[in-house]
Amino acid sequence: MKTIIQKAVSILKSGGLVAMPTETVYGLAADASNQAAVERIFAVKERPYQHPLIVHLAAIEQLSLWAREVPPVALKLAQAYWPGPLTLILKKQPHVLDIVTGAQDTVGIRIPHHPIAQDLLKAFGGGLAAPSANKFTHISPTTAQAVEQELGQGVDLILDGGECEVGLESTIVDMSGDQITVLRPGMLSLQAIAEVLGQSVFTKEEISSAVKAPGGHHLHYAPLTFTQLLPLEEIKAAIEKAEVSILPMACLVYSPSPSVDKAGINWVVMPQDPEHYAHELYKTLRHWDNQGLKRLLVEQVPESSEWDAIRDRLQKAAARELK
């Protein structure tokens, strides 16, 4: 009997799409060397072509097949954190398709550690282009059910690997230029990266260059429900007023505070440590986004660096204008 992995490989080899679990979020995978298959990813996600895709590999030995230059610092970082929630931007090999790179001279590469992603990549042998398995601008899926809700018939097979451990997308580090830059914060922190490398690492904001900003589209990872990011005091004030026009709503708070027992208000207590918060965030946003509420009020998270990736996603989630 064919195993599910063999079935997934034959779908990929014939140009199909497979949703694969990774430790960050679920990816929508296609053979990165097959133009038509990669085009299908963009069609199914309704994603504009300017947003390049990450190529997923099974092992570091394959890196030079996709990147023409692997500086020693990049290798050091790869050895420290791969397989894991890290994506490296490197100078690409000539064969890497323009549709994958957004016609840039660089390619994003990641080696995930989820066992199903590893099994699939090893059995497939090549590179898998895989963006998060959601419609463009929606919340990334962290369960197989969320993939089904997002893409339904658009995907040929969904591999169910349970809930994603990390829950937020990988940290993207650009190592293709003179300065090492974090283009998208993730739960693997800038400090952890700088520590391993023993040199300065910059944020995208610190570098005033024309680097294409991943997730730079201001509305990204966003619920469809109008979402606001506010200090706890302002959430409480909004509840005091509780105008009918904003009810029912859900309030996602993490500070210890007495829960509110008022009609039309769902009080949701989030974990207080960033790892657990990240793990819960997309699942919780998706759940409350499915309830037909008028509003989601989310408490602002601390300014400290271990919350950077979470703050980044919450700011983007709250970027939708009130219709």
Contact set with ligand TXA (CB under 6 A): 22, 24-25, 27, 51-54, 87, 89, 101, 104, 106-108, 110, 130-132, 169-170, 172, 183, 212, 214-215
Give the phi and the psi of residue 212 in degrees, each rounded to 5.
Answer: -65, 125
Closer residue to ligand TXA, CB minimum distance, 57 or 249: 57
List the single partner that 87 binds among ligand TXA, Mg ion, none, CB under 5 to 8 Å by kind: ligand TXA
How far is the first Cα of the chain from the last one, in angstroms, to the nearest whole number?
A: 52
Closer residue to ligand TXA, CB minimum distance, 216 or 271: 216
Minimum Å gap between C-beta 92 and ligand TXA is: 7
Extended beta strands in 200-278, E state: 202-203, 227-230, 249-253, 265-269
Q: Binding of Mg ion at residue 87 (CB under 5 A)?
A: no
Place of tokens 């394959």: 62
Minimum Å gap between C-beta 259 and ligand TXA is: 33
Contact residues for 263 (Cβ-Cβ < 8 A; gap 6+):
247
**Could you give the angle at the alpha carbon of 207 between the alpha carbons of 213 and 90, nearest 5°?**
60
Minimum Å gap between C-beta 145 and Mg ion is: 18
Closer residue to Mg ion, CB minimum distance, 132 or 300: 132
Q: Which residues pair with residue 88 across a beta bridge?
A: 109, 173
Separation of alpha carbons 189 and 175, rounded Å: 16
**What tokens were used for 249?**
């709503």
Closer residue to ligand TXA, CB minimum distance, 22 or 284: 22
Q: What is the DSSP string of 83-101?
A: SSSEEEEEEBPTTS-HHHH
Minimum Å gap between C-beta 179 and ligand TXA is: 14
Minimum Å gap between C-beta 206 and ligand TXA is: 16
List the single partner that 108 binds among ligand TXA, Mg ion, none, CB under 5 to 8 Å by kind: ligand TXA
Separation of alpha carbons 158 and 164, rounded Å: 14
Q: How many helices (H) and strands (E) does the chain have?
A: 11, 14
List the single partner that 217 binds among Mg ion, ligand TXA, none, CB under 5 to 8 Å by kind: none
List the single partner that 114 binds among Mg ion, ligand TXA, none, CB under 5 to 8 Å by kind: none
Separation of alpha carbons 93 and 304, rounded Å: 38
Q: Which of residues 122-181 bind Mg ion (CB under 5 A)?
A: 132
Contact 108, 193 (CB under 8 A): no
Minimum Å gap between C-beta 109 and ligand TXA is: 9
Closer residue to ligand TXA, CB minimum distance, 89 or 246: 89
List the single partner that 16 binds among Mg ion, ligand TXA, none, CB under 5 to 8 Å by kind: none
Closer residue to Mg ion, CB minimum distance, 132 or 142: 132
Closer residue to ligand TXA, CB minimum distance, 158 or 250: 158
Helix axes of 144-151 and 274-289: crossing angle, nearest 10 degrees: 40
Q: String of b and e for 108-144 (b: at least 16 CB within 10 Å)?
A: bbbbbbbebbbbbbeebebbbbbbbbbeebbbbbbbb
List the single partner that 52 binds among Mg ion, ligand TXA, none, CB under 5 to 8 Å by kind: ligand TXA
List the single partner that 170 binds among Mg ion, ligand TXA, none, CB under 5 to 8 Å by kind: ligand TXA
Minimum Å gap between C-beta 3 and Mg ion is: 28
Contact residues for 274 (Cβ-Cβ < 8 A; gap 6+):
187, 301, 306, 307, 310
**What tokens were used for 314?**
């919450």
- The helix/strand/coil state of 228 is strand
Minimum Å gap between C-beta 296 and ligand TXA is: 22
Closer residue to Mg ion, CB minimum distance, 43 or 59: 43
- The footprint of Mg ion (CB under 5 A) covers 132
